[in-house]
Structure 1
């Protein structure tokens, strides 16, 4: 639903020539509505002009594009339109160039308003490519290039201006007024080896450029420890809240190079280090020293609430890693970490368990000695847990039956995945009977039942078997119908049940930072 104000805004922006003439006379309170209307209707010329004349100190995408009283469409949760974002960037550049030129004329100075453009709420494009939208990597490059372009233009203009303003002695007159002009561009940056040089250049010029790139969430992939350090050294320690280093193959030695930098970021609340190639099962004295150093540095991070150590072999060392954290974790990902019973038992009784909102234990063997501690974890986090993933944990009907009572206690659970586990159709129906009793559950990702495969499925089946073995579609259709009947009888058609890996579930509800 749209308000009358929003309908009027859409009408105004439908005629660009008229809009441009009217912008200086439109009340400042209407500008956010005009911005959202132009963004929705892809009125790029209007967007550019609205940004150039923005009458507030902050232009925050999350605030403007969220659901509001004038428009109930939550645009901030959608992938951003490429043309619209480019128009916004051009509008910021226009604003700065105008201000730079006016600042050189003492008689033509005006009060500068815009100080921060915040794009941190924009969605990523994930694994799906869309020609009309722009993902985080492309967005990072576009913003970095904009900062570099503005810096070059301002230096070129200043050089030309200084030549015109030389005194009789031939020395340029002091002209630092443009140094007081700075718009901070807050964004989540995604850096790879291909974009490293461009982003680094943009960050380096930040202190002297009119457009200063500030990183809130850093995601780096396929970067060496040396390159990662060079990026960390350029980031604002106050603004940065999240560090994600993925597919970098750093190992303990590489992480030991990086960890001393992490405590410099006092507001760091999320540290994600998946696929870091750590293996604590066969440690040399040097490796043990590196591990203990890493543990010590973790203890110096006062605000971390999210930790991802997925795909590192951390058998028996979870207590050491998590016990030093000053704040209770709300998100913990230990997928494929080769956990031992001692690890799971510690987690169940730790100060983290009652506060966990997200827990990912995928790839750990819950079919045997971890099952009891896992039930304890569910019991102790039952009032907080929102997201639970136990994909590929060798769970069969017996184990499922064992932990279903504990799962049924998780009153806040919204997402549950047990994908790629050898569970029968009877086990799935038991799971769904429990699931429909959970009041806010939205998504259940379940495996294809083992009795819906063609004859000859190896037992116990491997992950490869569960993914690639032939399926009896007729049997699967019957099971789907039975599961749907359970949802209908419980009046829970709001629950999505799927055998596909589900990546569209929004974790904004966790509100970790």
Structure 2
């Protein structure tokens, strides 16, 4: 013996309205719950309830009426009834209290509008399945409500671009832990509170643990991108310890890290197979050069893309990592834009990278000698230095394509911009 799910009271009310005479249905519109309007409209439209349709249009509680999505079976009589209802509405000096109608959409769209009321009614029976999810500028409460209808363990790519406090990330963390199939995760702009007293520090630590503990459940995570994660300063090791698989790509950008963070990063067993490393916007100027050198040595066998834009790298740091950089035999793209480098170290860099067989995209800053005492770029001086750099490349032989710029490179799309136009040099010298 099967047990049938009883219909909701709202469903019974809607059916009853149309079963009775149209006059009673029209009278009831003033008190009808908003969620009953779409299913009642469908019943009236396909049931040719002309007077009910006219009244529904005049009391329509939504801004848009996507009629085009219902016109796959043209019914001139019902379509005319909708237009008649609009005529009455336009002729009225004062609109009915509930009416919000502004757009009659006759395009062959709108199926999502009509179908979502079935989804709403059956949300306990079905879940939406998708592989990619992008969340932009939404309160975490709204996100949690929407994701309650998504089969989270089917997600493979998740991109959260919201300006959240750390507390919001902690609330989101349990949902993240259910995304057990996710391979690519990107989080942007999670900030900590401005207060730094002891009690607040303890609370922040608990919230960080709530987030990092859920990383433990992501057994398929390969790409991790964290933009402006201010909460990670001094705590990067907590997240690294929770990684369950080796990463292909790691991006930690536009935040403050400590020497200890960089040290933990270089020793993490889950970064030894990295193909992409992006540390742009992280100040490395005060760090011991051997930390970055050790990190590059760890990933030299697999690294294909390296982004050190706007890292405060100067001649001593770059000079110290050149031996490790020369061992990155798989490197195909490299950016140092936004750093202060002299003409002398630029020459050494070009000689070092000339031995990398796969390197095809190089993005370097204009040499320091290109700038005047006030910091303004001197285009004439830059042109002279350009000629010297090209001579160096010609002497090295082989094809080279180099972007030389006073602004961040276009490939990684830094938000910082300069007023000067960038200089792109294509230099091909036959072997």
Bucket of the pairwise TM-score, normalised by the shorter protein: 0.5 to 0.7
Contact 1:202 1:213 in 2 (8 A): no
Deviation string 1:284-311 (CA, Å, 9 cap, x unpaired) is: 3332222211111111111111112221
SS across alignment from 2:133: strand
TM-score (structure 1 length as normaliser): 0.54
Does residue 250 of the first structure (1) align with residue 168 of the second (2)? Answer: no
Contact 1:279 1:312 in 2 (8 A): no
Corresponding residue for 1:226? 141
Report the secondary structure of 1:346's partner residue. Answer: helix
- The residue that corresponds to 1:511 in the other structure is none
Residue in structure 2 matched with residue 375 of structure 1 by the alignment: 293
Contact 1:395–1:421 (8 Å) recurs in 2: yes
Query: Greater strand percent: which structure?
Result: 2
- RMSD, aligned CA: 3.3
Q: TM-score, normalised by structure 2?
A: 0.63
| Contact 1:280/1:315, CA 8 A, preserved across alignment | no
Deviations 1:53-80 (A, max 9, x none): xxxxxxxxxxxxxxxxxxxxxxxxxxxx
Cα–Cα, structure 1 residues 369 and 470, in superposed 2: closer, same or farther, change >3 Å? Answer: closer
Give 1:237's aligned residue: 152
The answer to whether structure 1 residue 410 and structure 2 residue 328 are counterparts is yes
Count of paired positions: 305
Mapped to 2, the partners of 1:205 and 1:151 lie a distance apart of 17
SS in structure 2 of the partner of residue 275 of structure 1: strand
Aligned with residue 397 of structure 2, among 491, 495, 500: 491
Structure 2: stretches of 5+ with no match in the other structure: 1-64, 77-109, 414-431
Q: SS at 1:376's partner residue? A: helix
Could you tell me which residue of structure 1 aligns to residue 175 of structure 2?
261
Does structure 1 conserve the Cα–Cα contact (< 8 Å) formed by 2:304 and 2:331? yes
1:220/1:263 CA distance change after superposition, 3 Å:
same
Question: Is the CA contact 1:256–1:293 (under 8 Å) kept in the aligned structure 2?
Answer: yes
Aligned partner of 1:103 in structure 2 is none
Give the structure 2 partner of residue 59 of structure 1.
none
What are the residue-to-residue correspondences of 1:2-41 with 2, within 5 Å? none
1:480 to 363, 382, 386: 386
By how many angstroms is 1:280 displaced? Answer: 10
What CA deviation, in whole Å up to 9, does each residue of 1:105-163 have, x standing for no partner?
xxxxxxxxxxxxxxxxxxxxxxxxxxxxxxxxxxxxxxxxxxx9799539x85999xxx
Alpha-carbon separation, structure 2, partners of 1:309 and 1:360: 10
The alpha-carbon distance between structure 1 residues 264 and 452, as it changes in their structure 2 partners (threshold 3 A), is same
Distance of aligned partners of 1:481 and 1:351 in 2 relative to their CA distance in 1, 3 Å threshold: same
Flag the 1:300–1:453 CA change in 2: closer, same or farther, 3 A: same
Structure 1 contact 344–370 (Cα < 8 Å) conserved: no
Indicate conservation of the 8 Å contact 1:310/1:336, yes or no: yes
Closer/same/farther in 2, CA of residues 416 and 227 from structure 1, 3 Å limit: same
**Structure 1, unaligned stretches of length 5 or more?**
1-147, 161-197, 458-468, 507-513
Partner of 1:299: 216
